[in-house]
Structure 1
Amino acid sequence: MIKWTKVSSRVIARWSCTLTGGGPGGGKAEEQTCFLQDEAAGGRTQPQKKKRRRRKKKSDVFSMLEPSVPSHLSTWVDVKEAIRDKAKELKLGPTRFAACEKPRPDRMAAYQKWIDSGMHGEMAYLAREDRLERRRDPRIVLDGAKSIIVSSMFYWPGKGGFPWPKVSERERLGADSEGRGLVSCYAWGDDYHQIMGSKLRDLATFAVELCGGNSRWYVDTGAVMERDLAERAGLGFTGKNTLSIHSNYGSGFFIGSVFTTLPLPPDEPMKKPSYCGSCTKCQVACPTGALAPTRDFVMDARRCISYLTIELKGSIPVELRPLVGTWIYGCDICQEVCPWNQFSWQGQSSPSWGQVSKDISFPVLRDLLHMDETEFEARFAQSAVKRIGRDRFLRNVCVALGNSGDVRAIPPLRKAMETESDLVKEHASWAITRIAEQQRSSSKTTTTT
């Protein structure tokens, strides 16, 4: 039996059929034949041997037609604007275009130096030679690639968009009231890989249906020099917090890229690599020293709270645990203090989740510690939080509880020491000790006063 998926006459979509038997084109199961439809074949199905199936990634959108300007448009500039209009229709943020060429030599040299210094921590995939090679020459990513569509999707809600006080006040409230933790605002909604990935797939499909050619899209998943692309496309500059910053909307956006064989004229690049000037607010505010005034535009990921709570798979270094505060997934501190993020704005690319419940952005830590695997999967089914798994998440919760000084957390922490994994037990034990130390310190202060 054959399962057929209808596709455009100009586009060959991945898995256009799943072959388990014969089909209209005469193929046989043992030949592993897949029938693909093409406009040039007059709408007739044509057998394609498995070895000729070029696509190996779900992010590919391939056509059998050479790139060309459609009859209703005049030039590739018109095509570029049509793609930009489609991006707006898909509710993506500002979308720009860059030539598919090697990154600036100084950018690649800085990245290699960062890798060589070990600042990428346990993210070994960043140092893989095949990935480094693709960063050095993005043309390897897609055969015949000539252009890169660089798009954005914003998650930063703007100065007026936060439903709760700023970080310093939230941490104080968390310690003094219900004992709540902090979640980076990018994770308040559904997983951005899925949301933006779907939009980029639609954008890539639109480009191929319009002009033929081939495309491959990425959203935080490929070996792509995204900040260099943002600069070259004029989307944003790189700040001292090492994030891309849009001059109107700040740094709170995801970058997505569509590699294409279409010869799209590039947009003007950023005039300067950075517009931070003498400002060091993000470096001074970083509690762990991942950013430092002596190290402009460089982040030591090994000390970054986002790395410690998301990327790090093992134990959080003991000396850094008190500095993590009550963050349980990611961190927004270096963005929250940035002057470029002090605007109140609302546009078509603003966060789709809008005002969220404090149980999402500011959850009660003790409640999280009670979750079993089923409850964790249900609560974070559509969230990026799900990616780190329950063990790492509970590890983070234990550290946050320890830093909260909440004595009400001691019973559930003791239970965790009896029932959870070694990773969670270790951090639960630390949390109990930390709470006890804070209570003793508080008692001494009260007595002295």
Structure 2
Amino acid sequence: MHTVQNRNIDLALLVADIKAWGCELGFQRIGIADVELSEAETHLLSWLSRGRHGAMHYMESHGTRRSRPQDLQPGTLRVISARLDYLPGQVADTAVVLRNPSLGFISRYALGRDYHKVMRGRLQKLAERIEARVGWFQYRAFSDSAPVLEKALAEKAGLGWIGKHTNLIDKQTGSWFFLGELYTDLPLPVDTPAENHCGTCHACIDICPTQAIVAPYELDARRCISYLTIELRGAIPVELRPLIGNRIYGCDDCQLVCPWNRFARPTDEPNFAPRHGLDTPELIKLLSWTEEEFLKYTEGSAIRRIGYECWLRNIAVALGNAPTSEPLTNALKARLDHASELVREHVKWALARHS
């Protein structure tokens, strides 16, 4: 089989074309990284050794495949990293929702269509365009779907730097974006890694409701509201429940306060527009959903992945943090006989807060 090296392909021109094709497909930016991640691997292994991944045991079982792309996909030489902005343009004011304890706050990334599907579809189309140009080549597409150090790779690809909150930040557009990757055997020229511009700012550390950012660039997932409401499948630690407020799926506080996000531009991507009024949902109404309604209103959404029980668990916590009212306590009492012990325990906790 012919290799790229002996096909007389201008690789620099190919990279320029890949970036242009990426923009045509709806990506905001494309970068190229090599696969040397030893520094990021050291940070990852230290993080895991401290147990900061909590119940995400898969992260430990994946070992160094996350930081060694060639172990995950043999033959990988480069990573094509893609950025897709998701901040909805027509969305309820986040601060207003967070201040209203009768409403549930859902992280802005999850209000529309599941980004995994959108990202993977576009990466596949990008790979097909490359193949039409160079012929068969080895590739594999990822979108938060396998053990990939996507932020470290995106940083190497020049798409931004990893901020003190551990999210990726772009100097021109902030941090409201998804990342996706194409692992490939094409020996493409790499981009210059991004420089860190956090400076002395520590706004994200100060704002975190649960103090999950334990030090600059160090996140303890066990305290993170996104972990507690999405990744954790068991009971939410009692001492952290009051700190969650009305956040029922994820948390955007560290991004909301980041000064670089003043440059963020809303996307006109229809896939990420809010669905079913989930940018301003009433908690009491959400608690009354049957499982069929939950599946109906979260169809095609990233929210569905937590399942119905964890959905009710999260809403019960939010209602436990809301002001007492008769409709609220009646809604909670209606769930006292739920089949799930997990749901019943959180409902009892919430009712005890109103007794």
Query: TM > 0.5 between the two?
Result: yes
Contact 1:145–1:259 (Cα < 8 Å) also in 2: yes
Deviation for aligned residue 1:319 = 0.3
What are the within-5 Å matches in structure 2 for residues 424-443 of structure 1? 424-436=343-355
Do 1:135 and 1:225's aligned partners in 2 also have CA atoms closer than 8 Å? yes
Counterpart Cα distance in 1 of 2:323 and 2:67: 48
1:181 maps onto 2:104 in alignment: yes
Shift of residue 343, structure 1, vs aligned partner: 2.0
Q: SS at the partner of 2:179?
A: strand
State yes or no: 1:368 paired with 2:286.
Answer: yes
Number of aligned residue pairs: 353
What is the distance in 2 between the residues matched to 1:397 and 1:110? 34
Match status 1:190 vs 2:113: yes
Match of 2:44 among 81, 86, 111: 111
- 1:54 aligns with none
Task: Decide which of 64, 69, 73 is 1:133's aligned counterpart.
Answer: 64
Structure 2 CA distance, aligned partners of 1:126 and 1:277? 30
Q: Is the 8 A contact 1:154 1:350 kept in 2?
A: no
Amino acid at match of 1:393: W
Q: Distance in 1 between matches of 2:81 and 2:124?
A: 13
The partner residue of 2:314 within 396, 414, 419 is 396
3-state DSSP of counterpart to 2:97: helix
Structure with max Cα Rg? 1
CA deviations on 1:1-33 (whole Å, 9 max, x unpaired) are xxxxxxxxxxxxxxxxxxxxxxxxxxxxxxxxx
**Superposition pairs for residues 157-172 of structure 1, below 5 Å?**
157=88, 161=89, 163-167=91-95, 169-172=96-99
Matched, 1:149 2:80: yes
SS at match of 2:152: helix
> What residue is the counterpart of 1:308 in the other structure?
228
- TM-score norm. by structure 2 comes to 0.94
Change (3 A) 1:65 1:422: farther
Q: Which runs of 5+ in 1 are unaligned?
A: 1-63, 437-449
8 Å contact from structure 1 (residues 208, 215) kept in 2: no
How far residue 75 of structure 1 moved from its aligned partner, in angstroms, is 0.7
Shift in Å, 1:355: 5.7
Asked if the contact 1:241–1:299 (Cα under 8 Å) also holds between the matched residues in 2, the reply is yes
TM-score normalized with structure 1 length: 0.75
The match for 2:3 is 66
Give % identity. Answer: 37
Q: Residue deviations 1:60-84, cap 9 Å, x none?
A: xxxx65336878xx61111111111
What amino acid maps onto 2:80 in structure 1? Answer: I
Q: Could you tell me which amino acid in structure 2 is paired with residue 195 of structure 1?
A: V
More displaced stretch, 136-145 vs 309-318? 136-145
In structure 1, C-alpha distance between the alignment counterparts of 2:270 and 2:22, rounded to whole Å: 16
Q: Displacement of 1:427 after TM fit?
A: 0.5
Post-superposition offset of 1:97: 0.6
- Is contact 2:313-2:343 (8 Å) kept? yes
Q: Residues 220-235 of structure 1: matches in 2 within 5 Å?
A: 220-235=144-159
Q: Post-superposition shift, 1:357?
A: 6.2
Deviation at 1:361, TM superposition (A): 1.0
Distance 1:248 1:406 in 2: 44
Q: Which residue of 1 aligns with 2:183?
A: 259
The CA distance in 2 between the partners of 1:68 and 1:202, in whole Å, is: 23
Q: Report the CA distance shift for 1:224/1:354 in structure 2 as closer, same or farther (over 3 A).
A: closer
| 1:381 correspondence with 2:299 | yes
Q: 1:324 aligns to what?
A: 244
1:269 maps onto 2:204 in alignment: no
Q: 2:143 aligns with which of 183, 203, 219?
A: 219
Name the SS for the 1:366 alignment partner.
helix
Measured against aligned partners, the alpha-carbon deviations of 1:131-161 in whole angstroms (never above 9, x if no partner) come to 222234212222222211000111134xxx4
CA shift for structure 1 position 166: 3.7
Superposed structure 1 runs of 4+ greater than 4 Å apart:
68-71
Distance across 1 between alignment mates of 2:346 and 2:29: 42
Q: Deviations over 1:37-56 (max 9, x none)?
A: xxxxxxxxxxxxxxxxxxxx
SS at match of 2:213: coil
Q: Is the 8 A contact 2:225 2:250 kept in 1?
A: yes
Amino acid at match of 1:319: E
Structure 2 CA distance for aligned equivalents of residues 325 and 221 of structure 1: 29
Name the SS of the counterpart of 2:188 in structure 1. coil
CA displacement at 1:232 relative to structure 2? 1.0
Cα contact 1:326–1:403 (8 A) shared by 2: yes
In structure 1, the residue corresponding to 2:228 is in which secondary structure? helix
Shift of 1:405: 1.9
Q: Distance in 1 between matches of 2:6 and 2:113?
A: 37
2:31 matched residue in structure 1: 96
Structure 1 residues 357 and 204: alpha-carbon distance in aligned structure 2, compared to 1, 3 A threshold: closer
Highest relative contact order (Cα 8 Å, sep 6+), 1 or 2?
2
1:341-352 equivalence runs, <5 A: 341-346=261-266, 350-352=268-270
Whether contact under 8 Å (1:142, 1:259) holds in the other structure is yes
Structure 1 contact 368–397 (Cα < 8 Å) conserved: yes
User: Contact 2:175–2:264 (CA<8 Å) still a contact in 1?
Assistant: no
Distance 1:232 1:127 in 2: 23
Which residue among 149, 163, 186 is the counterpart of 1:239?
A: 163
Indicate the SS of the match to 2:336.
helix
**Partner SS for 1:97:** strand
Q: How far apart, CA to CA, are the structure 2 residues paired with 1:69 and 1:198?
A: 30
* Aligned-partner residue type, residue 143 of structure 1: P
User: Which amino acid in structure 1 is aligned with residue 204 of structure 2?
Assistant: C
